[in-house]
Amino acid sequence: MELVVHKVSGEATDRKVMLDDSIFGIEPNNHAIYLDAKHYMASQRQGTHDSKERSDIIGSTRKIKRQKGTGTARAGSIKNPIFRGGGRVFGPHPRNYSFKLNKKVKRLARKSALSYKAKENSILIVEDFNLENPKTRDFNEILKSLNIDNKKTLFVLDQSDENIYLSARNLQKVKVLRAEGINTYEVLKANKIVFVESSLKTIIEVFANK
């Protein structure tokens, strides 16, 4: 697939780039996408939730009423889950939600996600640019010039740029990533993916080395 390179002002240049078909033109694998997205979301979970079961409750161990003759069910402990303040039954405890996923599956998933975006014409190439100062207003002007200010957008950079990152940080619909850190979840979440021209070479290197 061949795409025109745009300036940050929104104007099209006379240059074109060819997207690598081995990355942007494969037959998508939906199951690989599902596994990689699930793996990413599971890794984001802290897993620090905890609850007290009856053995963790502080309270008297005496029998709270006699066994028979009350006309109600027998009860032997104030820590019983049926009483207010009692322990919780099968409550959550700290755990690690992450799981192992093979590198080949991750690579296939990310290629599949990028191929979907390419088929949907949701990929935009812009020439390399820099911001002199970290200003959200300046970055927002770039989005308006590219006509993507109302869309969920993923900006893919060749290398870290603090000014660009800080300028986009307060924009709810914008995410900035390095080419090395691209992942299936963020690709699928975005309505538009903007690749800085120099990042395409890095993308090819990233998928070649995995």
Domain extent listing, the chain: 2-45+98-209, 46-96
For 35-173, list the strands marked E by DSSP: 123-126, 153-157
Res 209 pLDDT > 80: no
- The 3-state DSSP composition of the chain as helix, strand, coil percent (nearest 5) reads 35, 15, 50
Contacts with 173 (C-beta within 8 Å, 6 or more apart), sequence order: 150, 151, 152, 153
User: What is residue 210's predicted lDDT score, i.e. its pLDDT?
Assistant: 55
Whole-structure pTM value: 0.83
Report the pLDDT averaged over residues 88-112.
94
Q: Which of 8, 12, 6 shows the shortest CA–CA distance to 131? A: 8
User: What is residue 115's predicted lDDT score, i.e. its pLDDT?
Assistant: 95
pLDDT tens-digit series, residues 189-204? 999 999 999 999 999 8
pLDDT band at 206 (very low <50, low <70, confident <90, very high): confident
116 in Cβ contact with 189 (< 8 Å): no
Question: Which CATH code for domain 2-45+98-209?
Answer: 3.40.1370.10
Report the pLDDT averaged over residues 79-94.
93
User: What is residue 1's predicted lDDT score, i.e. its pLDDT?
Assistant: 80
